[in-house]
C-alpha cells in the first residue's frame, strides 16, 4: 500500500512537471519572450508601467494569436512595384514631407497585407502581428504611422521614414531579415543612409 502511494505521488509530480514544461515551451517564458521580441519586449514593459508579468502576458497572447502566420511571397513584379513606389515617395518628401509620410504609411500597410499580415485598416492588429515576426523593425512603422497623423516637424518626419524603411526592406525582401545586420544594410560604404533625404535636402530646413 505504501509503495502504491509513493508511485502515485511520483506520477502526479511528473505530470505536473510535464504540464509546466509544456506551458513554458508554448509561451517561451520570460527569457524566451525577451529574446524573441527584443526592443518590443522593453516597450511592452514600459507600456505596462514596469509590470513585467502583464507585459509578458500581452506578448504571449500576440504569439498565440499570430505566431502561426506564414508570410506570403511576393512575385518579382510586385516586389519591383513596391520598391519603385517607395523610391518615388522618398523623392516626393523633398517637396511635400507630410504627403510623402502619409503615402509611405499607406504603402507599408498594403505591403504588410500582401505578405499575409492583417489588413492595415486595423493598425493595432497589424502591428501586433508584425511585432511577432519583425519585432526589431515595428517601432519605425509606429513612428511613421503617428507622423502621418500628427503635425510633426520636417526632421521628425524624415527620421520616421528612415526608421520605417527597415520594416519595408524586411517585408519586400525575399529572405527573412537579419536584425543583427539592419544597421549595416541601411548604410553605404561611408556610413551614410543610402537615401537622399538629409537635413539640408528637406524642405524648410536651413542646414
User: What's the pLDDT score for residue 62?
Assistant: 94
User: What's the pLDDT score for residue 6?
Assistant: 56
Which pTM does this prediction carry?
Answer: 0.70
User: What's the pLDDT score for residue 75?
Assistant: 94
Average of pLDDT values for 181-199? 41
Q: How many residues does the chain have?
A: 207
Question: What residues contact residue 130 under an 8 Å CB cut-off, 6+ apart?
Answer: 112, 117, 137, 138, 141, 167
Q: To the nearest whole percent, how much of the chain has pLDDT over 70?
A: 70
Confidence band, pLDDT 50/70/90 cuts, at residue 116: very high
Flag whether pLDDT at 4 surpasses 80. no
Flag whether pLDDT at 106 surpasses 90. yes
Flag whether pLDDT at 87 surpasses 60. yes
Amino acid at each position: 500500500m505504501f509503495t502504491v502511494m509513493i508511485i502515485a505521488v511520483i506520477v502526479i509530480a511528473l505530470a505536473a512537471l510535464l504540464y509546466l514544461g509544456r506551458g513554458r515551451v508554448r509561451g517561451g517564458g520570460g527569457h524566451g519572450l525577451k529574446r524573441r521580441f527584443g526592443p518590443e519586449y522593453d516597450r511592452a514593459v514600459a507600456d505596462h508601467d514596469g509590470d513585467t508579468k502583464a507585459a509578458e502576458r500581452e506578448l504571449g497572447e500576440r504569439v498565440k494569436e499570430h505566431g502561426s502566420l506564414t508570410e506570403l511571397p511576393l512575385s518579382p513584379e510586385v516586389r519591383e512595384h513596391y520598391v519603385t513606389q517607395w523610391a518615388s515617395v522618398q523623392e516626393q518628401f523633398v517637396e511635400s514631407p507630410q504627403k510623402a509620410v502619409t503615402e509611405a504609411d499607406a504603402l507599408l500597410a498594403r505591403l504588410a497585407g500582401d505578405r499575409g499580415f492583417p489588413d492595415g485598416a486595423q493598425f493595432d492588429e497589424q502591428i501586433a502581428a508584425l511585432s511577432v515576426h519583425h519585432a526589431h523593425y515595428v517601432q519605425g512603422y509606429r513612428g511613421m504611422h503617428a507622423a502621418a497623423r500628427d503635425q510633426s516637424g520636417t526632421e521628425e518626419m524624415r527620421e520616421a521614414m528612415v526608421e520605417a524603411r527597415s520594416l519595408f526592406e524586411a517585408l519586400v525582401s525575399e529572405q527573412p531579415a537579419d536584425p543583427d545586420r539592419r544597421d549595416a544594410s541601411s548604410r553605404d560604404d561611408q556610413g551614410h543612409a543610402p537615401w537622399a533625404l538629409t537635413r539640408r535636402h528637406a524642405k524648410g530646413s536651413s542646414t
